Structure 1
Amino acid sequence: MARVVVVGAGMGGLSAAARLAALGHAVTVLEQAPEVGGKLGRYARDGFVFDTGPSLLTLPAVYRDLFLTTGDALETVLDLVPVDPTAHYRFPDGTEVDVPNASRSGVARAFDEALGAGAGAQWTSFLQRAGRIWDLTREPFLESPLDGWRTLAGLARSWDAVRTVAPWRSLRGLGEQHLRDPRLRMFLDRYATYTGSDPRRAPAALATVPYVEQVFGSWYVRGGLRLLGDAVRDRAVERGARVEAGVEVVEVLVEGGRAAGVRLADGRTVPADVVVSGVDAAQLYGGLVRAPSAARSLRRATPSLSGVVLLLALRGRTPGLAHHTVLFPDDYDAEFDAVFGRRGPQRPVDDPTVYVSAPDDPALRPDDDHEAWFVLVNAPRHAPGAGVDWDAEGLADAYADRVLAAMARRGLDVRGRLLWREVRTPADLERATRSPGGSIYGTSSNGARGAFLRPANRSPVPGLFLVGGSSHPGGGLPLVGLSAAIVADLVGPA
């Protein structure tokens, strides 16, 4: 039995804790915030309840495996329901389309009906290519520890495999190869933001993101996605893990060349045979432990985008409102230019894509005559002096007004129904989660080398491992869960 300290109780840390405790290790989880869950947050006020992080679960097999591996099935503790349609999309020309859940033929029909005959065939052709990429990359790139360029070298033995994955091509470039309709290309571009990236620079391999969503479905936890975090925490505790909140780790201790525990802000030390870091890799390598090579690699990577969030308490109900609504702008490239500082410095997006999550869930509203909306727009990181200072006086409220006005221009005006709003900026996200600049996914996947610059699960310090969205294989609930499974395999049974 090893003594394991998990630093950070986000979904990566909690999932790793549950798996390692089930393997027989003595696990202690230390979280600096008052509550566990990390970016899988929740806000409640006046009977309105909001998930403040992920709003849907894709690839649920990751968490089904976690629960089966550690005890009872996921469905014994949570009510997992499909989201259908997955989302309602509105394009700049006024075209609207509901994308059905887990039905490739249904998606093709929806595109044909909304965009014109032949659009469905274009998307089907693209999705077939994405499926081949998924088959080739799933095991070596998502379910196994990253082994640098050697991981890619395994694919290089087959020219057909290399040609399929096309590591030299961007997601935008792959879309242009298969999709003639500009609205389909816009639809595809949005999936780059699932990893905090720019579709013009993100690799073509991200085609697997819409493939996974449309093949394995989109799911929601009745009562809110936050309940998934609570359930994983409970499973970890049931298997014997100890979880402490409000405890700040200030140093990973290294003795004899390997991780030996952690030092807390109050001066106490917690000895360990294994340390699992669930904090942002930039925080880990920037101050908690000395690992010069890992720190240099991080500095070469492009940080992921962040976001501005509006939590809206609304009176009345919206006829025909989908669980998710996406309102595209006239100029999508201008959005990515602003967020990543191209054609000028990083700046708030003038006319952003607006993403609305509004589950029809009685548990999230005071009564049936009200709605709780989570609204997200992409934004550059908080970077006072070097980019956008989201703490600048008046900026947050002024930008929230701009977002509400953009929604109104695109046919979703809720300003007359607004009871109150809560605005959260990248600066707020940084304070809440210690994610530098409020980057949602750590580093982006921008550039051909982006995936290989993402910190590996096994650190350069023996006995120190990384989980969570800033480490391999990336951000989002499924990949975070996979990082925990990888680390549990690396540590092994007691």
Structure 2
Amino acid sequence: MGGLAAAARLGALGHSVVVCEQSERAGGKVGTVSRDGFTFDTGPSLLTLPAAYRDLFLKTGGPLEDEVELQPVDPVFTYRFPDGTRLRMPNASRAAVRQAVGESLGEQAADDWEALIAHAARVWEATRGPFLEAPLTARDMVRLSRDLRALRTVAPWRSLRTVGTRRLHDPRLRMVLDRYATYTGSDPRRAPAALCVIPFMEQAFGAWHVRGGIRRLADAVCARAVQTGAELRLGTEVRRVLVEGGRAAGVELADGSRVDADVVVAGSDARELYGHLLAPDVAAAPLRRLRRAEPSLSGFVLLLALEGRTPGLTHHTVLFPADYDDEFDSVFGGRVPADPTVYVSAADDPALRPDDDSEAWFVLVNAPRHEPGTGTDWDAPGFADAYADSVLEILARRGLDVRDRLRWRVVRTPADLERETRSPGGAIYGTSSNGPRAAFLRPANRSPVPGLFLVGGSSHPGGGLPLVALSAAIVAEMVGKAERRPRAS
């Protein structure tokens, strides 16, 4: 998505753009599976901060809403806790959120959450410029370090877990906050406190479903890139980035041919770029830096085609385990969690199911990366299917037994994600945000090679639909400043 968005922006700026995509469909991790009238998004299941895409479309042609239909997701999530308590979190309404938290968890919890979101709003204002909307530079770090008020607000030395422990009295509400670390593939005990901006963004700017599935957004961005003049080459694998005369000169394809260019924008995972697509001497320094950063977690997915309807089911349901810390210990220790959090996405969208007496469920659990020999081998015979059975059993124990309604299922593992997207080990977000220096270890948009730029979830500012769109905006501006001559095709 970052690469397509960058292509659209660069095309609109008058550059001649060629997009090389290894698969037969563009969109990266925003995938889809359709079968027997059921359609499943296999990547993101909601859109937050839609302004990032509204800006993209306005800068490259007509408005976003001319291409896709955005529908508010309300409630955003239904949380089910181990003690049986349920919390339905409303969409984009401070008053409604306060009421819902108070009714489910008590007035103290409502006060605490409201105060947390007010704090997160201040963190958002302090970080959005240097950390999200511009390339992160040493000058930004120095400026932030000298701004004592901003430094105290962001508190880079604190973890997200610490924020929850200090500000939220109810352990169930702390579980809700901890979960936002997984939005960056991270452990809340080590992820930075600044990630509290994610629930603020959801509450302030809303959470949105794209009618027909998030894949429609990917198709719209791809179409916009083509409309701005980009040449889209599907099934075109890049074997290496060419560096000649000390700068990027194009790419060599798997068939041995080359595409010459004045500028190369890599939308691949940064570890793939520096580890396989560049000569070792050129990639040595950024690769050493990358190895100091911990890769993000991955995900184990079930696509369930179900008969009948589930009373009271909302778009998103999160089923928490009794021991949340054990899940993070397992996942980042290379082990499959025995009792994971289970996330169910079941959009009430007629375009995603064959009839009104059926449901299409996307079920996700946090999972260790595919690391045969040293960690979990997701390709081991029978392993994935056995774990799928275990997840269905966990769903049943937590009140959502759908085994007798199952028409069929598709199992997708971290190994599948690695094969499809070349994300090492199936790491969803590239590097995690674990540790206070994580943001500064994430690869910069400008590589050490002149004329080579990075875009997408594994580079600055990070993963997720909004951030990769911001990444594309940053890269397009950097290319415009660095290259005043048209790109060659």
Equivalences for residues 59-98 of structure 1 within 5 A: 59-98=49-88
Distance 2:180 2:311 in 1: 27
**Structure 2 unmatched ranges of 5 or more:** none
1:288 maps to: 277
Which of 483, 487, 491 lines up with 2:475 in the alignment?
Answer: 487
- What is the letter of the counterpart of residue 355 of structure 1? Y
| 1:461 partnered with 2:453 | no
What's the CA shift string for 1:396-451, capped at 9, x where partnerless?
01100111111111111111100110000000000111100000000000001111
Where do 1:237-386 residues align within 5 Å?
A: 237-289=226-278, 290-341=282-333, 346-386=334-374
- Shift in Å, 1:152: 2.3
Cα deviation, 1:375-395, whole Å, max 9, x if unaligned, reads: 000000000011000001111
Partner Cα distance (1:140, 1:35) in 2: 33
1:10-40 residue CA offsets vs partner (Å, 9 max, x unmatched)? x001000000000000000000111111100
Secondary structure in 2 matching 1:198: coil
Q: Measure how far apart 1:117 and its partner are.
A: 1.9
Aligned length: 479
Q: Does 1:53 align with 2:43?
A: yes
Q: Is the counterpart of residue 102 in structure 1 residue 92 in structure 2?
A: yes
User: Structure 2 CA distance, aligned partners of 1:128 and 1:359?
Assistant: 30
Matched, 1:432 2:420: yes
Q: Secondary structure at the match of 1:144?
A: coil
Shift in Å, 1:52: 0.4
Q: Deviations over 1:202-237 (max 9, x none)?
A: 000101111101110000110100000000010111
Q: Secondary structure at the match of 2:339?
A: coil
Aligned runs of 1:127-138 on 2, under 5 Å?
127-138=117-128
Give distance in 1, aligned partners of 2:160 and 2:452: 33
> Paired residue for 1:222, among 200, 211, 231?
211
What are the Cα deviations for residues 77-112 of structure 1, in whole angstroms up to 9, with x where unaligned?
A: 110111010011101110001100001221111110
Amino acid at match of 1:15: A
- The alpha-carbon deviation at position 175 of structure 1 amounts to 1.1
Secondary structure, counterpart of 1:118 in structure 2: helix
Instruction: Among all aligned residue pairs of Structure 1 and Structure 2, give the percentage whose two residues are the same amino acid.
Output: 70
Report SS of the residue matched to 1:64.
helix
User: Which one of the candidate residues 162, 173, 184 is aligned to 1:184?
Assistant: 173
CA-to-aligned-CA distance 1:44-102 (integer Å, 9 cap, x gap): 11111100000000000000000000010000111011101001110111000110000
Aligned CA-pair RMSD: 0.8
Q: SS of 1:208's equivalent? A: helix
Letter in 1 for 2:131: F
Structure 2 residue corresponding to 1:152, chosen from 123, 141, 160 = 141
Q: Secondary structure at the match of 2:20?
A: strand
Paired residue secondary structure (2:430): coil
Query: Normalising by structure 2, what TM-score?
Result: 0.97
**Superposed counterparts of 1:393-408, under 5 Å:** 393-408=381-396
Residue 291 of structure 1, CA deviation: 1.7
Shift of 1:151: 2.5
Letter in 2 for 1:417: R
What amino acid does structure 2 have at the position aligned with 1:303? P
C-alpha separation in 2, matches of 1:92 and 1:151: 43
> What does residue 29 of structure 1 align with?
19
**Structure 1 residues 135-214: aligned runs within 5 Å:** 135-148=125-138, 150-214=139-203
Measure, in 2, the Cα distance between the counterparts of 1:211 and 1:258: 41
Letter in 1 for 2:297: L
Aligned to 1:8: none
Distance 2:197 2:116 in 1: 10
CA distance in 2, matches of 1:225, 1:407: 25
